[in-house]
A and B are shown apart, each in its own frame.
Chain A
Amino acid sequence: MKLTNEQIAIIDQTLIDKGVVYDDIKLELIDHIATDIEEKLENQEFDFDVALSKDIIKWEKALEETSSLWGNVIGPRIVKEKFSKITKNHYKFSLIAVVIFSILMTTITTLKPEEYVYYNLHLLFYSVYSLVCLINIISMFFIWKLKIKTICGRFFQANVGYTAFNLYLIYSGLNKLSNLYRYYIFKNIFLNFLEWVFKGFFFFMAVYLVIVAVEHFKTIRKYKLV
């Protein structure tokens, strides 16, 4: 016996009440629960309400409320596990990217310690950084406008606030651009490396947000959520 749209809506609301508000996760849970209930109704074991309440008990562990220390996300285990995966990938990506980036930049500026190299390298860096921040701001607008909740969208919204700080870094960096070389020549190689680590950390955080935003829009298209 097929469930009606109203019964599907009840399952949907039950999951939302349990904290499963993200469409990409909710979609398959609705189908699983609905298929299970349909089978029970087919065998005339229970009516819809009883079948639903019995079914939800089976999901107790997956829907148990937990909190994520890293991303401050409080919600069911099934949501937290996916969120934690994105957070872990973020740190893995940032760590590898920042180390490679800082070594590369320190090497270039050490091997070619000339003012024009230093100036142009920073100019290029801040231009790309600005572009990444602009993409983040545009993505933020579309994520807000579409109002579709995915786990990637949640991660993006939880971290997009750093864009304000990124813009400040770009602004102050560009302002000091002509004087940067003067500070640089008094620094040793280690301090030079640390400076690139600091800049790279926030830059790659912004880059990862672009990746997450793309993943959010890809999920919407793939899952036909629009």
Chain B
Amino acid sequence: MKAIMKNSQLYKGSLNTIIMKLLEENGKMYGYEITQKVKAITQGELNITEGALYPALHKLEADGFLDVEIEKVDNRMRKYYKLTESGEKETVNRLSELADFIRNMQSLVNPKLEF
């Protein structure tokens, strides 16, 4: 059984980038959908907790990187998040930063490997 790395500090710093990347690929998503998508992509290895997801979404929304849409689904309202124009630009920056981070970490932990 694979471990759920929900508390790993290594992932915490990348949570916003993960959310923005998913929204870039999928257009608009709601909270539950984001958690399930991350679980599916990582085959259950990464589990975003509710306590971490919503503060991150609310912060990105307050910073102007996300916009929201409310739709009635069945007998309740659903809040969808999507990237704003500045959110799209920020996603490109953050992904590039993350790629640099991964490359540098790879060089540090395994200096023999070359990319």
Q: Is there an interface contact between B75 and A8, defined as CB atoms closer than 8 Å? A: yes
Query: How far, in angstroms, from A145 to B50 measured CA to CA in the complex?
Result: 33
**A81 part of interface (Cβ distance < 8 Å):** yes
**A172 part of interface (Cβ distance < 8 Å):** no
Question: Which residues from chain A contact B72 at a C-beta distance below 8 Å?
Answer: 224
Q: Is there an interface contact between B70 and A3, defined as CB atoms closer than 8 Å? A: no
Question: Which residues from chain A contact B74 at a C-beta distance below 8 Å?
Answer: 2-3
Binds A, one of B8-16, B51-59, B99-107: B51-59
Question: Which residues from chain B contact A92 at a C-beta distance below 8 Å?
Answer: none
- CB of B37 to closest CB in A, whole Å: 13
Q: Among the interface residues A28, A30, A78, A81, which one has the most CB atoms of the partner chain B within 10 A? A: A28
**B73 part of interface (Cβ distance < 8 Å):** yes
Q: How many residues of B contact A (CB 8 A)?
A: 21
Binds A, one of B17-25, B76-84, B85-93: B76-84
Q: Is there an interface contact between B49 and A78, defined as CB atoms closer than 8 Å? A: no
**A31 part of interface (Cβ distance < 8 Å):** yes
Q: How large is the interface on A (under 10, 10 to 19, 20 to 34, 35 or more residues)?
A: 20 to 34
Q: Is there an interface contact between B50 and A28, defined as CB atoms closer than 8 Å? A: no
Question: Which residues from chain A contact B75 at a C-beta distance below 8 Å?
Answer: 2-5, 8
Query: How far, in angstroms, from A29 to B74 measured CA to CA in the complex?
Result: 15
**B109 part of interface (Cβ distance < 8 Å):** no
Closest to A4 in B: B75
Question: Which residues from chain A contact B51 at a C-beta distance below 8 Å?
Answer: 59-62, 77-78
- CB of B55 to closest CB in A, whole Å: 5
**A58: which of B30, B50, B58 is its contact (CB, 8 Å)?**
B50
Question: Which residues from chain B contact A205 at a C-beta distance below 8 Å?
Answer: none
Q: A2-B74, A31-B78, A62-B51 are in contact. Are A81 and B32 (CB under 8 A)?
A: no
Q: A62-B54, A82-B58, A85-B62 are in contact. Are A31 and B49 (CB under 8 A)?
A: no
Question: Which residues from chain B contact A34 at a C-beta distance below 8 Å?
Answer: 76
Q: Is there an interface contact between B68 and A222, defined as CB atoms closer than 8 Å? A: yes
Question: Which residues from chain B contact A128 at a C-beta distance below 8 Å?
Answer: none
Which B residues between 30 and 71 are near A, CB-CB below 8 angstroms? 30-32, 49-51, 54-55, 58-59, 62, 68, 70
Q: Is there an interface contact between A59 and B50, defined as CB atoms closer than 8 Å? A: yes
Question: Which residues from chain A contact B73 at a C-beta distance below 8 Å?
Answer: 31
Question: Which residues from chain B contact A3 at a C-beta distance below 8 Å?
Answer: 74-75
**A27 part of interface (Cβ distance < 8 Å):** yes
- CB of B81 to closest CB in A, whole Å: 9
Can you name 16 A-B residue pairings with CB atoms under 8 Å?
A2-B74, A4-B75, A5-B75, A30-B77, A31-B31, A31-B32, A32-B30, A34-B76, A36-B32, A59-B51, A61-B51, A77-B51, A85-B58, A85-B59, A223-B70, A223-B77
B binding-site residues for A, Cβ under 8 Å: 30-32, 49-51, 54-55, 58-59, 62, 68, 70, 72-79
Those 5 A-B pairs whose CB atoms lie nearest each other, nearest first: A61-B51, A62-B51, A28-B79, A35-B32, A32-B32
